[in-house]
Amino acid sequence: MNYLAIVGTNSEVSTNRMLLQFMQEHFKAAAQLELYEIKDLPAFYEAEDDQVPQEVEALSAKILQADGVIIATPEYDHAIPAVLKSALEWISYTSQALTDKPVLIVGASHGALGSSRAQAHLRQILDSPELAARIMPSSEFLLGKSQAAFNASGTLIYEDKLAELDEIFREFVLFTEIITKLLSEKAVIKKDKKFAWQTQKA
């Protein structure tokens, strides 16, 4: 599996980035994770079709090429960061590259709740008609007290959370396989479908 792992913040120092970096190394035998930084994307504005920023086109291409997407979000004022909302607005307004794309949401925060409200907010956004991502159900990974969660080498040291992350990632790989198979079969059915007027004899 090839996953695009989006760092959902423009902060230079982030435990959400550390979480994705750990996942990239920890799960390298099962999947390839490419980290993507949204901090260099311009703020969203209504661009003409031929004036979409190159950075946005590059992000869309990466999403389309990936088997699935992992988004790590912090929580700012009970919601996702504005920079992440802006990135999703670009995708919604232009390529709609997240449509039917398997998505796993994870999040880390300095507090005890581990970005739970931001993750709920993100699920609502990804479920909107213009994004329509395939979000893995019942799969919250909430890393609270994240400032103490990693050692000097970037390893997640909370054993209970590591076991939880292992299980969620295993399920996400399976979820990706199921969604990929579902969409391929759906495409075949759609291709072979005939309307009544096409099958009637004159």
Q: Residue 168, exposed/middle/buried by CB under 10 A (0-12, 13-18, 19+)?
A: middle
pTM: 0.90
Count of alpha carbons within 13 Å of 51, Cβ hemisphere only? 6
pLDDT computed for residue 201 by the predictor: 53
CB 183 within 8 A of CB 100: yes
Residue 190: predicted pLDDT: 57
Cα-only R_g, the chain: 19
* Tokens standing for residue 202: 């004159």
User: Could you tell me the residue ranges of all domains in the chain?
Assistant: 2-199
Report the distance separating Cα 160 and Cα 120, nearest Å: 22
Task: Please check whether residue 179 is in contact with residue 66, taking contact to mean a CB–CB distance below 8 angstroms.
Answer: no
- Domain 2-199, CATH 3.40.50.300 — does that match? no
What are the angstrom distances between the C-alpha of 58 and each of 54, 63, 79, 97?
6, 9, 26, 11
pLDDT tens digits, the chain, 202 residues: what are they? Answer: 999 999 999 999 999 999 999 999 999 999 999 999 999 999 999 877 678 999 999 999 999 999 999 999 999 989 999 999 999 999 999 999 999 999 999 999 998 888 999 999 999 999 999 999 999 998 889 999 999 999 999 999 999 999 999 999 999 999 999 999 999 987 666 555 454 444 555 4
Dmax (CA) for the chain in angstroms is 77
Burial pattern 22-59, b for ≥16 Cβ within 10 A else e, equals bbbebbeeebebebbebeebeebeeeeeeeeeeebeeb
